[in-house]
Amino acid sequence: MIVAIVLLLLYCPFARSQPADPFDDPAYPLLVHAYEELNNRRYETAIAAFRNAVKLSPDRAHVHKDLAYTLLKIGENSAARDHFAEAMRLDPRDEHVALEYAFLCFETGKPAEARRTFDRIRKTGRPEPRATAEEAFNNIDKPLAEGIARWEEVVAESPGNFSAHRELARLADQRDQWKKAARHYEKAWRLRPDQKALLLDLGRVLRELGRERQSAAAFLAASRGAEPRAAEEAKELLPARYPYVYEFREALELDPENRTLRRELAYLLLAMDKAGEAETEFELVVEQSPEDLLSAAQLGFLRLNREDYQGAMPLLRQVLDGNDAALAARVRESLGLPAEDEPAASVAPGAGTDADAKLLGQRSLEAGYMADAMKYLTLAHQIDPTDFEVMLELGKAYNITKRDEEAVQWFDLARRGPDAAVAAEADRSYKNLSSGLSPVRFSFWAMPFYSSRWKDAFGYAQFKTEVRLGKLPIRPYISVRFAGDARRTIGSVAPQYLSESSFVFGVGLRTLRKNGVMAWVEAGSDVSYLDRNDRHARMVPDYRAGVSFAKTFGSALGGEAPGVFFNTNDDGVFMSRFDNAILGYSQNRLGYTPPAVEALGGLETQIYWNGAFTVDSKQQHWTNFAEFGPGFRFRWKPLPASMVFSIDLLRGVYLLKHGPRGPNYNDIRIGVWYAFTK
């Protein structure tokens, strides 16, 4: 024991950094034992003790270093390399450890990492290790440079030589010539598109070049390839979430012949109710792979739904005549054709067990066969009423078929299950649906902003409680509106008010919004919180009615893909308190939604051009104007989805010639929009 302690103090500098009482250190007894075993050449037990010490004290470079040297004694070079790497990370000044790491990288098939490490030491190290690193670097770099030159000559002479492009790419990759590597990896893969592993290499070097989206496209294409090993490696390099539509499209631009990738995109579009786009993708899948009967059936039903019988029936006949009896039976049932004389097992093999019924239900749901999905999933639920995943799938099926009352019941059941992932997904779906199905719904919105033109802060808000009348397309409600500003008046002799300065209490009725259109009517009282000289009483009757249209086309703020967008909000409003005037206004934005900036906390932005028009039936100067100018909206992902900040630089033009103000004005408006529904 004494010998081991002496060895520990002399052998390992780690002891000098310990507390005054080493026995307070939980790793100390393990290290004493490790060095004792090392002294007695019992390397396996020494390694086990070192590893346990590393678990207790992972931040000690010397322990990693001594463990690495011990691993070398039993020929565990790869494990030794990894511990030298950790020791180098913890103590970057130890150049001997860095050299050991670099030599082991070369010996264990990582020449690129070895070359980088030698290159760093030869440029920044002390004289002795620098000389060693210089020699080792040249021993690696010179053959790489010569090999690249030779293969470039071969490629110049034989541009279609697959092996030449592949070898040139690999040598350039090892020499950190990533642009050249990316170019020749792609050329090699174009020559042999069945070699999906090359897409992994292409994605990796594109990531080194900072081309993240192109890198992700390569990984996604490889993950839906025919090579299982390459597919699994690619999936590990993709984000944990499911890919977005634009990511599928970018992967298909790189790999347009990838039928698996295109089929998955088609089903994703179908699940998103984008039947037209899904049909286009299914057409390409069937064109590339006529034997894909499931895609042929799906394409046939999509055409049938839009009454293209001439285009649908040949596809469905192909499925009926094909060798998939179960699929043919579903097509017959959907078309209302009599069943052929065949065993029941060919229609629903094993449907008497929970596992088979559940699997058939899930596959039908994925394929878009909602009737089959609900039938098999209901059977699975009857067999095992405690399977919460089946309840979640039933909720999805009923939601897709617009039977939301039943869907919300299944989601409510599924969110009570023990599986955290299933419960979380079901809870999100339940909350999204239940708010629209609740008999009473509360909503609130607020829009405060500052105007440089008036040098004033304005605030508009509404709190509303509405009642759901079963499936009727109307909603009665009560509401409180607020409109006010900070300055209250301008002018001293004949003060003018810049806002209504009041609360409006009302009872109303509105229609459900359909295709962006909603109508409403309301009766109530306008109560001013100021003693104004332009009103005969603080409380006056207020009757209002209106029609509203709101629509966003393209890439919305917070959407899944960047791109161009157009947003319009158009309203016509009757207001009794303003001499029974009818006010019409249209607010429009045309612009671009860039990708979110994750480095800035998930910042989402929009840049756009405003075009707004306001007119009224009474031809009043102050309510007939147009406004134009650039704007910028932004939000952060962690904030509520409905909270948006905006900055607009506007040029206003009055549309009527005669009025108390000039014909034009400039305004800078800075504001925030926030809303919630419960």
Cα end-to-end distance, the chain, whole Å: 71
Q: Is the pLDDT confidence value at 318 over 50? A: yes
More confident residue, 664 or 357: 664
Distance CA 625, CA 228 (A): 64
Report the DSSP beta bridge partners of residue 666: 651
When mean pLDDT is compared across 19-28, 257-266, 355-364, the lowest value belongs to 19-28
Task: List, for residues 122-137, the tens digit of each pLDDT value.
Answer: 888 788 888 888 888 8
Q: What is the pTM of this model?
A: 0.44
- Measured over the CA atoms of residue 218, residue 221, residue 224 and residue 226, the dihedral's sign is negative
Q: 4 pLDDT exceeds 60?
A: no
Give the per-residue pLDDT at 12. Answer: 46
Please count the other Cβ atoms lying within 10 Å of the Cβ belonging to residue 179.
Answer: 12
Tokens standing for residue 38:
């090392």
* Confidence tier at 336 by pLDDT (50, 70, 90): low
Per the structure block, which two tokens stand in for 194? Answer: 């069945």
Highest mean pLDDT range out of 269-278, 318-327, 419-428, 538-547? 538-547
571: left (phi over 0), alpha (psi -120 to 50) or beta: beta
Q: How far apart are CA 328 and CA 347, in angstroms?
A: 8
Domains of the chain (ranges; CATH) run 353-437 (1.25.40.10), 440-677 (2.40.128)
Between 590 and 102, whose confidence is greater?
A: 590
Q: Is 69 helix (H, G, I), strand (E, B) or coil?
A: helix
Of 482, 483, 486, 494, whose CA–CA distance to 455 is shortest? Answer: 486
Across the chain, mean pLDDT equals 83
Interatomic CA distance for residues 87 and 98, integer angstroms: 9
50-59, 188-197, 317-326, 361-370: the lowest-pLDDT one: 361-370
The pLDDT of 191-217, averaged and rounded, is 87
| Confidence bin at 591 (pLDDT 50/70/90) | very high
